[in-house]
A and B are shown apart, each in its own frame.
Chain A
Amino acid sequence: MGIEKHRNILDYTLLSLLRRKFKNIGIILVFTFVIFIVGSILFLSYSFKREAYLILKGSPEIVVHRMMAGRHELTLLSYMKDIIEIPGVSKVEPRYWGYYYDSMTKANYTILSMGETVMKTSRLLKGRLPEINEKNSAAIGKGVARARFIDIGNVFSLQSADGSQMVFNIVGIFETDSELMTADLIVLSESDFKRLVKMPEGMATDLAIYVYNETEALTVARKIRERFPDSRPILRDEIIRTYDAVFGWRSGLVLTLFIGALAAFIILAWDKATGLSAEEKQEIGILKAIGWETSDILEMKFWEGLVISLTSFLPGIILAYLHVFFFGASLFAPALKGWSVIYPEYRLAPFINFYQVATLMAITVIPYIASTIIPSWKASITEPDIVMRG
């Protein structure tokens, strides 16, 4: 048996689909939209996930918080000398960071300082970072610069804990390429930070712990917990996994959009699966009566499902890619921005997860084809003599 027969059946299927142009174009549009939305979510969340993984590799291996009465509390620097004693620990450094609410712009900034500056310049930093004890200088993120209309060389002020205004020279601005990590940052020197927030001596926000061997991080964390029961160590592993969860399929982002799209798809498939119209049944009878086999009818239905679902799936995926990676997922931006005043500008990295795309294809194309074939099954196996009786 040659290939010609199958092409002939496909020819007829296409002809038959074109007869109900509006209905079928409608189905294709809805189907494409569903794929577009779901595909966009998949691309977006996977891209964030992968970027988080690649970038947060630079995070401290362990961060140790101190808890008091169920609250995050400042850590005592005196913990450091005990922690450094733990075998496997290579370095312990204090972290100074917190938030600053700017009532003028209604924006929240993340303020922080670093200990000793290892890296003073970077391709991603215009200017430089403040020195450890340098007074009244700051490096800021692009988002802060946008919110306050300031640039390198300008000054801006923050209100310190005692009510006085502290003025800062902007010595550095993080470049646009780094906004995903730096948009809302204000980096100060350690002494300025402590002055701004009035942090008592001998305290730090939390501690960053480095180990010689990454695989021992968990053991070290356990030992820290044993030594300081009020501490809460967070492993870098957990940091990365948190982002897996934020952008995983169970996250709100994915679920909210997913459920809507899924509902639309189910309605679509349901409409198909709940049976043939009398007209369609009769057409099947006629085809059988004039010499089509059951398998020919089923093949026609298979083509029908395949044509509709492929004609929807492929453009849907293409549009999703363009939407997310060329237009910055602009349709989702309102949801992603939320109420934030400072919002990073970023170009998502076009990571494609083939497994996800293949799964999406499998859970849409195959059920759709099935919901096209199965209802016609019964009509196609009945004896065609019914058409003799109108």
Chain B
Amino acid sequence: MRRSSIFFLLTALKILIIIALFVHSRIELSNRMTLWKDLEGIVSTLKLTDMALFTDARYARHPTQADLFSAFQDYPGSIEHFPTGTIVPPPEFDSVETVIKIK
């Protein structure tokens, strides 16, 4: 077989795998629709605001409830929570249009 044919075949094979993964993604996502609805239910019942991904620091457990403007708010650069501190940046409320000011 020609070398170019082998190359095209291998490339086509990889593209097929990618298509298969895409189909997997679609099926998996549609299977999870009810899970998300249920999770949303739990979140609204318990009035949760954050994911339980990092439980080693306050600002990391509830990044949305942390803030930048309090003095001495735990800052992600603090070494004692490495590596979580490098993963969770300070909340970026500045960049959000919804800064709440008193007129």
Contacts and interface: CB of A to CB of B under 8 A. Distances in A.
Interface of A: 7, 10-11, 14-15, 18, 48, 51-52, 54-60, 63, 65, 67, 70-72, 93, 95, 99, 107-108, 110, 112, 114, 117-119, 122-125, 129, 141, 143, 174, 177-185, 187, 208, 218, 221-222, 225-226, 229, 232-235, 237-239, 241-243, 245-246, 250-253, 256, 307, 310-311, 314-315, 317-318, 321, 325, 334-336, 338-344, 349-352
B52 A344 contact: yes
A182 B52 contact: yes
A256 B84 CA distance: 12
B52 A218 contact: no
Contacts of B6: 14
Q: List the 8 shortest-distance A-B pairs measured between CB atoms, nearest first.
A: A58-B43, A338-B84, A58-B44, A58-B40, A252-B86, A314-B14, A350-B25, A14-B3
B9 interface: no
B89 A184 contact: no
Nearest to B27: A350
Interface of B: 2-4, 6-7, 10-11, 14-15, 17-18, 21-22, 24-25, 28-29, 32, 34-36, 38-56, 58, 60-65, 67, 70-72, 76, 81-89, 91-93, 95-96, 98, 100-103
B18 A314 contact: yes
28 contacts: A10-B3, A51-B36, A55-B39, A55-B43, A57-B40, A58-B41, A59-B49, A70-B71, A71-B70, A95-B47, A114-B47, A124-B35, A180-B53, A184-B52, A221-B98, A226-B102, A237-B96, A238-B64, A239-B49, A241-B96, A243-B51, A252-B87, A253-B87, A335-B83, A338-B60, A338-B83, A350-B25, A352-B25
